[in-house]
Amino acid sequence: QELLFLCGWSLGILIAANLSEKSQNWFYIILIFFTGMQFFWISGLIPKAITMLPNGEIWVVQITEFFKNIMTNIEVIYPLALGVVLGVVSGMTLNMALGMALGVAFGVAVGVAVGVAGGIALGVAFGVTVGVAVGVAVGVIFSLTGGLTGGLAGGLAAIAGVLRLYFWLPELILTFLLYFFLEPTKALRFLPTHWDELIILPIPFIDRLIVQAYQTNPTLARQTIDHLTNSTNLQKTAAKAMVGIAINELNHCQTTKDIQTLELRWLPSPPPKEVGLLPNLLDISQDVDSALQQTSSYLKQQALNKCLTGLNNLSQQVRFSKDSNQATQFGSIIKKWQSILETAQKGLQQQAQRSQEIINPYIAGTPLEPTSAKERFHGRLDLIHQIESLTLAVQPPVLLLHGGRRTGKTSLLKYLPNKVDSEFLPILIDVQGLSRVNVILFATSFSTEFIEQARQIHNLTLPPPNSEILSQDPFYALKEWFKKIEQIIGNKRILLCIDEFELLSTLIANTNDYAPLDFLRHIMQHRQQWVLLFSGANLLTDLPTYWSSYLINTQTVKVSYLDETNARQLITQPVANFPKDTYTPEAIDAIIHWTHCQPYFIQLLCLTLINHINQAKRKVVELADVTTAIPEAIKTGGQYFSELWNDNENQHEAMLQILANQPVSDQAAVKKLIFKEIIDKETQHFQVPMVKYYLEHRE
């Protein structure tokens, strides 16, 4: 009867499979054979093994009698009938047919009544997730109608059919043999995934085979990963293989050259979440490649600072992460890379010192970052003390940090945490980097940036706001979140610096919703531990009229040009080890004249001058060099000068009249140019000669 039963369900499978697109795949016949062999092992080999145990023969007799009693009461024809009828009626695919028929077989083999087979077929037809649930339901139903044993067996049979447990054992054995007895590149060609793309349960050793094969045949390993990702259900196995390959490659890096030439750009984008910090390390690898292509030892050394900053951020991320796998997989790699790049940096520094070039320490065009720019920030102590005293007042006002473009507002805010008392915590939020499409995305990006700034600047770990409330009422969620932050920081105050605040107008225009400004006004009026600082370059009169009602009673902190003492220090001693006597006194005076002590212009002109004398293989900047460098400096800073002209479009006629020494008809335009420090109030002429030179030679 066992033989007849095996033939019945096998034939049912083949008939139902004829309805499938894959019915011509010969390997499914082999899978049927392997499944039949499992039935043989259960009915033949297991009893023999049991006889070797104490009283084993008695156990075998009892088990045999149990199954015989069941088999004599079941017609063998039912598996065949169910396989054919349900296959034809439902038009099921091969996977459904196999799962249904094998579910029947397994159910009958363990003593399930014929009716349970229908439940199995339903479980398979609904798919893996729902199928398991249906299998459990079948077990419950038949526990009530057919007894506990039959119901439990029926439920298990349905689940087994859905998960294709019948194929998993032979495929596992095959993979085991491939892993231990065949060379990895050859083993990949015989993986069961090539002919059985419907595998559901993970099979061990596949990811290890791919990792080992990558060492000798990267192309084949990548093809296997692509196949697992795009054609099977084993995407997690493919991700594990990617991580394994990456860990090996990252650990093999011994020099900056190894990091620079890392060949892992074939990984998919976006990568699966299982790869963790791997994409960040690949970005650093690309940055190292860019750094080592710089034209001088000093520039290479400076560019590597960005890479080390990135590694330091990753190290902190690993340290504060709750994911232990990230620490295990990437912690040692990050430390190793840090050591490699620090060693390379020292070597480049020695090369730069031995060379004839002067190290060019000037940074023009981007805000100064304390971690990389370090002591390059000069002056502004008076403004820092003013902000500090206002923040620590009993009733601090709302602060408005105002100044023209490139006067150093953002640099001042970035250096603020390093210069002030620990009683308050400056947090810088750049509106330019936030989403301004809708209020939910804005609030989400705001909280994300806030948490990141608190972690990086103050080593402060904050919980995120309630995501459910955030998606429904974002600013109420932020208010409740601010209360939690107050509990965490104790008696300290937070100075919330909103840089480029004028861009909030874009959010208002996109949403026609003033909730962001109402939220900020609520913070100003009712949250005593919070002090708001708005930073921008526009006048309130240049902003939409609604701003005036939100920024009443603000105290302005004016960011202007440097005083001459700090300007001369920035020129002659931008960093501690800068060579003395690089500039003649006449050259320094000329730089002061052309820039009018505007910090961006000083950085821009001095950057150009040092490059100029390095090319000429000279050590000293002379007066003639300054005059020669003006056109090149203006060309280098072309974006700033274009912005200056375009941002003051309404004052074009006034600027051209002043340039031509003609009377200005629009005095309102003159007042705005004076406020923006483009025109001097006393002389009614351009304050910065470099700006005048640009306008005179503008095409």
- Taking only the tens place, the pLDDT of each residue in 598-622 is 999 999 999 999 999 988 888 899 9
Q: What DSSP element (H or E) covers 525?
A: helix 515-526
Burial bucket for residue 339 (CB in 10 Å: 0-12, 13-18, 19+)? exposed
**Cβ(110)–Cβ(153) below 8 Å:** yes
Q: Check residue 73 and give its pLDDT.
A: 42
Question: What is the pLDDT, as a whole number, of residue 326?
Answer: 66
Question: Residue 572: its pLDDT value, please?
Answer: 95
CA torsion sign for 600, 606, 608, 610 is negative
Strands (E), 343-413: 398-402
Q: Supply the pTM of this predicted model.
A: 0.58
Residues of the chain falling short of pLDDT 50: 1-9, 11, 13-41, 70-155
Question: Which 8-state DSSP code applies to residue 579?
Answer: P
Q: Look at the alpha carbons of 281, 285, 286, 290 in this order and tell me if their dihedral is positive or negative.
A: positive
Q: Which two tokens stand for residue 698?
A: 């503008």
Instruction: Output the pLDDT for position 225.
Output: 87
479 token code pair: 């208010």
Cα–Cα distance between 433 and 329 in angstroms, integer? 31
Alpha-carbon distance 654 to 27, whole Å?
A: 84
* Sequence letter at residue 415: Y
- The rounded distance, in Å, linking the Cα atoms of 316 and 4 is 66
Do the bridges between strand 424-430 and strand 530-536 make them parallel or antiparallel, or are there none, so unpaired? unpaired
